[in-house]
Chain A
Amino acid sequence: MSGILILAEHRRGVLRDATLEAIGAAGELKGALGGPVTVLVIAADPSPFVGAVSVGAVDEVITVARPDAETFEPHVYEAVLKAVISARAPSLVLMPHSVDSFALAPAVAVGLGLGFATDVFGLAVEDGEVVATRAGYNEKVFVEIDFPGRSGVLVTLRGGAFAPATVPASPTVSALDAGEGKPRSRHLEWRDPPASGGIDIPGSPFILSIGRGVGDEANVAQFLELAEGLGATLGCSRPIADSGWLPKARQVGQSGQLAAKCNLYIAMGISGSVQHQWGMKHVENIVAINKDPEASIFTIARYGIVGDMLEIAEELRKQQGIQ
């Protein structure tokens, strides 16, 4: 019962950044929790990922090569992870709070009776026990969770909550044969997001984004004009793209785009779900315009206007001389 085990997440041959954040989190806890920090890489050929996960506080990399893990398959991963956890008995298992781990983490935690918390952004060790912090009631409160009577704990980590490990390390590398387990789903194909048609959310320094507050599809066109008139790229929240009012390439958030180069983000009529915040909360200058003064977007905004986005938009057009 010691140490921290991290499951590496990769897709189409690329290690996902969230894995480096999990390694960063492990580095923060290593002193208090004790024991080695180990990264587990499951893949058809894990060797290309070994270098990328050899960073920060990592002491050991375990590779498990399985031909049926050419792509992520939750039942195969479950079998391997359960075998490795049973053999190594880590105090803490970390993985990203990602779509892949949605299907995996509960199976491992329930299967082994591990303490379990998801979408965690704060971790502490008190009297040798892990305490996790996450949000509740649509981000309005924080919740501290502990795990009485559980000898190991599995936690999925919110993206962006922990600084990624970057300093190279020299872990030992061991290859294991682990896990029985058969795939129960079969990968057929990847479908990339539809072509962006020149819309560049990730590269835009200035984004004006609209959400449900726009009310009606007929109101959308004027925001294209407004964004153009202000020199901004028009973005949107998920419901607007789901309704087909704007193309998916304009969607900001976890299942859309990351506003990576943005330094001014005007969110109009967007309440600010966790999934939306994932794509924009890092932006230095966020302006929130929303009728609801309790909307969670205001908690991350540098400037706030409590008001009707359509009224504000009309004034902006008038004052800028945009027809």
Chain B
Amino acid sequence: MKILVPVKRVASLDDEFELRDDGRDVDPDFCEHDLNEFDEYALEAAVQIKEAAPEGVVEVVVLTVGPEDADDVLRKALAKGADRAIRVDDADLGDADRVAIARVIAKVAENEEPGLVLCGAQSADQGHAQTGMSVGTLLGWARTAVVSRLDFKPGASFAQVERELEGGLVERLEVETPAVLTIQLGINTPRYASLRSIKQANAKAIECVSPRDIGLADAEIGSAGSLSRVRRVFVPERGRGEIIEGTPAQQAARLLEIITEVKG
């Protein structure tokens, strides 16, 4: 069986950044990119299921939606134990929101027929927490969000999971499979890629397809398949508190004063 792990190349902003001319996003020149932290845990969970099964039983397929530069995060995933990587090019996906991206992922899942789709619980940059569960809905599969423990044997018709709730409460439950699960930080300890596996990953081919190649209709692609539209991005006016300057000794002294003032 296959486990499909959709991953996102997330952006972090430089200290000084500018908005795009149309004011609807940040200028990408000011972004640094990396594999979404939540997705590292989802990938590790998939690779652990593969390693617990007899060799050749489980194939881990990673997928991202993005431009050629996004191959970096796929190579990172290959180096950490994924078997295959697919990139759906985003050239036709202008103004796609999370739901329109989920339509792409769901279509790939329909074609690949995995037994499990494991996504990050949210992205570190935008934090919508929409994509994974939208994929589950579009596939018509069972779904659970914010999974902090996963027990699943390939071929089983249920997975036992724990989901982590507010305040540290945990619910243990059984979920029908195939299922889409979104994975919470801390479910495992993601591995580092060895130099050797990084070399091997760089030699592997990445399958690149367009949204139309995989069978998406025009009405599902980009803004047509979206449920929201970004109207405007802006930098909020934020009050900044008092910055305590000086040497560490002076800063610590001022901090002790503050503690005394507040505690009375």
Contact = CB atoms under 8 A, between A and B. Distances in A.
Interface of A: 11, 16, 71, 74-75, 97-100, 102-103, 105-107, 109-111, 113-119, 131, 135-138, 140-148, 150, 184-193, 206, 230-231, 238-239, 241-242, 248, 251, 254-258, 263-264, 266, 274, 285-288, 293-294, 298-299, 301-308, 311-312, 314-316, 318-320
A309 to B, nearest CB: 10
Contacts, number: 240
A144 B231 contact: yes
A319 B167 contact: no
A25 to B, nearest CB: 18
Interface residues of B, number: 75
Given A109-B99, A264-B263, 13 more contacts: A11-B169, A102-B146, A107-B136, A107-B143, A137-B11, A137-B26, A143-B230, A144-B233, A146-B229, A193-B169, A274-B127, A301-B241, A315-B248
Contact of A254 (B26, B137, B144, B166): B166
B198 to A, nearest CB: 24
A142 B184 CA distance: 25
A150 B133 contact: no
A71 B168 contact: no
Interface of B: 11-13, 15, 17, 19, 26, 97, 99, 102, 121, 124-130, 133-134, 136-138, 142-146, 160, 162-176, 182, 184-186, 227-236, 238, 240-244, 248-249, 251-253, 255-256, 258-259, 262-263
Contact of B137 (A102, A107, A255, A266): A107
Contacts of B228: 115-117, 145-147
B252 A145 contact: no
Nearest to B242: A303
A102 B227 contact: no
B263 A106 contact: no
Contacts of A241: 186
Contacts of B15: 293-294
Nearest to B15: A294
Nearest to A231: B263
B240 A102 contact: no
A136 B146 contact: no
Most buried by A among B19, B165, B186, B252: B252
B251 A307 contact: yes
